[in-house]
Structure 1
């Protein structure tokens, strides 16, 4: 057992009471792939940290050679782009297969098999298709286990290839801060929400004639009311997961709370209330219930939802959830899963959290997540919006020469105060939170993809980097020069993002 792994196991045993502990055991991943992605991300982080304005982050024009020219970019032919997309698809399949195989050592261990038998109730066992075993997460190379303290202490010595062991944390549904409609919507903005107006979504619709058509957004939340007038016909895929990440059989779309339907409205809602509420009303949603009402959810549920969303072929994932972190050191629970999404060309947009300055939420504080804070109608950052400097001291993904790696969160902000959107039962309410800001950014990415040719011209890491550089590089710069803990680089502007993309050849 490595010393860092031993220390993490001892920390869990010392700080968590109870005889049986719910953990997530993560296995080693393909070093070559993760190292390549991490190096690229590390370069991006250093570039962002030294940037004085958002415009410094904009990508190179399409077809212009980078510092190290690639043959694929030099030809810039349709055949070359198709070959690149095929290569990315094959690479993703290899990652998926590797993710499944990496947990075989766990599955074959007698001690683990005993723990799995305890987790699989007779009902669950009988519902498993022939040949299917307990749940495993391919994007994160991980498996949830309920172990005795004795088993946890000995597991790393019994099973080769364990990368890390995390608590399967309990995640609460983010608090919905109900507020009255802002004055600007009573006196100036009559036919949309102030958030759509402030992000220039309406102007983008009119100028480019597209509202998200052909894009699927993965929404991992409390579920969704698929019969809401603003959402009806827009839920393309549905799934529900339990605390261990097992998918529920015969589940039908529903919202176990209010949170998910409100976020869905900001993503793809229509104008049933007399106001347009969604930035990308022609996009579709792949909705996964990973937070079960007032009970909340677990990391395992979210990791299972990420697997499922990637399998559905989503173009972007929206996560208005997370667990509070007071420490600047970032947990790696979600790092591998988000890296797998990056390899698939899928940006992961995450709320930074609602506990105020010098706090963040996980996975919003992960190096590879695109994290979002909240602003009000006066472009002031909300007092509850999180943000801080994060640090990675040791990592299996980052080059040791780059450690410790210091970076700032969030990357940007979006409207998150008094956001008017759909709630279950065909109604509408105004809520505040970074949860409300996050779908503005995810939907802006949907608009960007539906209005440009980024998906045809870029794949995998290059696609995600291009999307993030355009979204961050086009913001309205607020706060300090360059990135800061309150605004990130600034407030979202989707019209400007699409404009820059068009100008740069996308």
Structure 2
């Protein structure tokens, strides 16, 4: 062990053949269901070989970023691509900095930056272009963001003092048994670490901080970094009018809508509240609540998605990241991104700000994306493809491709949370709610409902059957697709049924997502085994009645596997991305209004890592380490060094999944806390090894 002020790991500088052990220099919600058949113990010496890893290549000059079907503005070529002249665009205007800016104090630098910005803004106003200044940036780079017609971009670029212009990219959200998979429970029990005294910034769609599970533990309150009294002084130092929310979520800001209400509105997205629950909820799991990876942490609600819908603009992300850093965030969670990301700060201010956050001692954890690989046939319409000049199947997203971000892949949870009903004899019947169709919203509590089997659910199947006020059970014939699921709902609804349960045919998985309409009858699915047993009893004339019950966990038939949607690496630089894996398939967590839901995506894997990183950092702080770049980089390496390699069930677990999909493997928090050493490539600086 080193002295108290040193890093409590021995650092072995080696040349590492296996990319599973480290990052060279090195997002996201998906509904498809796809977790380590047995834990793999690695003999590290087996992987240590002599060899060379290629250095990171740089982005080619003039290459542009893309999102969706629109190319971004290329400031070097000054080309317009697919934007209409009168189309409103959000731009980030980078302004010349004073020549001696690096030698200035932060206070002086902000003053000088503002003078430079004011000159450009005044010149911009003289052009009589309609503009509205959205954000000003004084940390990392000198600039501001505004909205204007696309036809004005070149003219604004020519204004004296303007160094460069970036059209702000638009990012999309990426989304109890999982705690055991990553050793969180072991860390709680063995060391008592639950994230007390640490802060995690959540760059997302906001947080419903009134949720009953989003409270701080008693121990967390005793050690909280921000109290209501203490934070008031910090508010005076910032450029926005923050407010205090709660001990759990002390503050934040709605950067997208420019207000202090960080709770998603009626048309807002529940994504951020779900992510926050996985990081640090403190609910009662015996009462179907949620307890996150680090229930003792405080959360910052950096809301970057508007309640009016759409994606998150780049400048709002920058503002959110910088605010979280200024508020002392130890970890930042970014469950968002755009597919097939490019590496490089020159045309990506978000990647620059991620580096600067790292340099100030904040670990930034980012979703790797849900685009699988570029030739997979179910790719979402919004997904980007690799450019023709760089043909490859890799789709890992930006900004997770930043060398300083910890890029996260998704693994299937071993269990799936299901709502359930309970029969009069005590039998439990699990079911899966469909989009907009929850039985709890359609049925009365503590009331028994009779079940009636109606075959496929066609009109002729109802002859001689009374279903009024009852729940109908149907089972379609495989692959017939008879008139669609909406027809099944309509047939049941017009005869007075109160709900419909569909048993999956043999060609569908258990608890499938099907195309039911939220505007007709409440309709759900179940498993083949449980459904067939129910049909068998009903067909024999047995009377079965059930009422709503609490949630239950069932086996995930896709456990022990990487999630099918998880994005493959590597980026065009051949950097090691993604870098680590965590459970992201079928994750039960908090949503606004004291509700819960199950989401899947690398968005759900990322908060597992953010919470795990908080536990690791807590242990390091307790050993005397400081909130610093060195601590962040070595923590990142420790998490990757100590992860478990995931074996591919398609090879009967004889071969591992490619590091292009799993990175270093499944995060193991306790292993990272207890490891006596970390391994890096020989001759590699800590900055390179940790990035």
Selected match of 1:322 from 308, 327, 337: 337
Selected match of 2:251 from 220, 234, 237: 237
Match of 2:169 in 1: 169
For residues 129-278 of structure 1, the aligned pairs below 5 Å read 135-141=135-141, 142-149=143-150, 151-160=152-161, 162=163, 164-174=164-174, 193-232=176-215, 233-242=247-256, 247-248=258-259, 250-251=260-261, 253-254=263-264, 256-274=268-286, 276-278=290-292
In structure 2, distance between residues paired with 1:32 and 1:443: 39
Secondary structure at 1:390's aligned position in 2? coil
In structure 1, distance between residues paired with 2:358 and 2:111: 18
Look at both structures and tell me which one has the larger radius of gyration over its CA atoms: 2
After TM superposition, give the deviation of residue 461 of structure 1 in Å: 2.2
Q: Give the helix-richer structure, 1 or 2.
A: 1
After TM superposition, give the deviation of residue 136 of structure 1 in Å: 0.9
Report the CA distance shift for 1:11/1:482 in structure 2 as closer, same or farther (over 3 A): farther
After TM superposition, give the deviation of residue 334 of structure 1 in Å: 1.2
Report the CA distance shift for 1:332/1:28 in structure 2 as closer, same or farther (over 3 A): farther
Match of 2:229 in 1: none
Structure 2 gaps of 5+ residues are 1-60, 64-72, 216-246, 374-393, 415-558, 648-654, 680-691
In structure 2, distance between residues paired with 1:104 and 1:455: 44
Deviates more, 1:469-478 or 1:217-226: 469-478
Deviates more, 1:338-347 or 1:231-240: 231-240
In structure 2, distance between residues paired with 1:458 and 1:28: 34
Deviates more, 1:206-215 or 1:17-26: 17-26
| Alpha-carbon displacement from aligned partner over 1:93-118 (angstroms, at most 9, x marks no partner) | 94676467446434312443458983
1:21 corresponds to 2:102 = no
After TM superposition, give the deviation of residue 424 of structure 1 in Å: 1.4
In structure 1, distance between residues paired with 2:144 and 2:579: 30
In structure 1, distance between residues paired with 2:112 and 2:656: 47
Is the 8 Å Cα contact of residues 173 and 335 (structure 2) preserved in structure 1? no
Deviates more, 1:11-20 or 1:301-310: 11-20
For residues 256-405 of structure 1, the aligned pairs below 5 Å read 256-274=268-286, 276-293=290-307, 294-325=309-340, 332-357=348-373, 358-376=394-412, 377=414, 378-391=559-572, 405=573
In structure 2, distance between residues paired with 1:383 and 1:116: 51
Secondary structure at 2:272's aligned position in 1? helix
In structure 2, distance between residues paired with 1:167 and 1:324: 17
Match of 1:125 in 2: none
| Alpha-carbon displacement from aligned partner over 1:147-166 (angstroms, at most 9, x marks no partner) | 4455422444433462x432
Secondary structure at 1:486's aligned position in 2? helix
In structure 1, distance between residues paired with 2:642 and 2:98: 34
In structure 1, distance between residues paired with 2:116 and 2:98: 15
Is the 8 Å Cα contact of residues 325 and 361 (structure 1) preserved in structure 2? yes
Match of 1:402 in 2: none
In structure 2, distance between residues paired with 1:220 and 1:329: 21
In structure 2, distance between residues paired with 1:349 and 1:116: 42
In structure 2, distance between residues paired with 1:423 and 1:10: 45
In structure 1, distance between residues paired with 2:127 and 2:633: 40
After TM superposition, give the deviation of residue 491 of structure 1 in Å: 0.8
Report the CA distance shift for 1:502/1:115 in structure 2 as closer, same or farther (over 3 A): farther
After TM superposition, give the deviation of residue 354 of structure 1 in Å: 1.0
| Alpha-carbon displacement from aligned partner over 1:262-305 (angstroms, at most 9, x marks no partner) | 11100111233426530000111011111124333211111111
| Alpha-carbon displacement from aligned partner over 1:230-263 (angstroms, at most 9, x marks no partner) | 10341121211126xxx42x43644632111111
Report the CA distance shift for 1:7/1:279 in structure 2 as closer, same or farther (over 3 A): closer
Q: Report the TM-score, using the length of structure 1 for normalisation.
A: 0.70
- RMSD of aligned Cα (Å): 3.4
Report the CA distance shift for 1:229/1:21 in structure 2 as closer, same or farther (over 3 A): closer
In structure 2, distance between residues paired with 1:427 and 1:327: 37
Report the CA distance shift for 1:436/1:501 in structure 2 as closer, same or farther (over 3 A): farther
1:108 corresponds to 2:134 = no
Match of 2:595 in 1: 427
In structure 2, distance between residues paired with 1:443 and 1:434: 14
Structure 1 gaps of 5+ residues are 35-90, 121-132, 177-192, 392-404
Match of 1:500 in 2: 675
For residues 44-83 of structure 1, the aligned pairs below 5 Å read none
1:417 corresponds to 2:592 = no
Deviates more, 1:262-271 or 1:21-30: 21-30
Secondary structure at 1:291's aligned position in 2? coil
In structure 2, distance between residues paired with 1:262 and 1:103: 38
Q: Report the TM-score, using the length of structure 2 for normalisation.
A: 0.52
Report the CA distance shift for 1:217/1:134 in structure 2 as closer, same or farther (over 3 A): same
Report the CA distance shift for 1:384/1:328 in structure 2 as closer, same or farther (over 3 A): farther
Is the 8 Å Cα contact of residues 321 and 353 (structure 2) preserved in structure 1? yes
Match of 1:41 in 2: none
Match of 2:226 in 1: none
In structure 2, distance between residues paired with 1:225 and 1:419: 18
Report the CA distance shift for 1:198/1:114 in structure 2 as closer, same or farther (over 3 A): farther
Is the 8 Å Cα contact of residues 318 and 349 (structure 1) preserved in structure 2? yes
After TM superposition, give the deviation of residue 313 of structure 1 in Å: 1.1
In structure 2, distance between residues paired with 1:348 and 1:420: 23
Match of 1:76 in 2: none
Report the CA distance shift for 1:388/1:299 in structure 2 as closer, same or farther (over 3 A): same
Q: Aligned residue pairs: how many?
A: 398
1:472 corresponds to 2:640 = yes
In structure 2, distance between residues paired with 1:440 and 1:33: 38
Selected match of 1:443 from 605, 611, 627: 611
Is the 8 Å Cα contact of residues 229 and 426 (structure 1) preserved in structure 2? yes
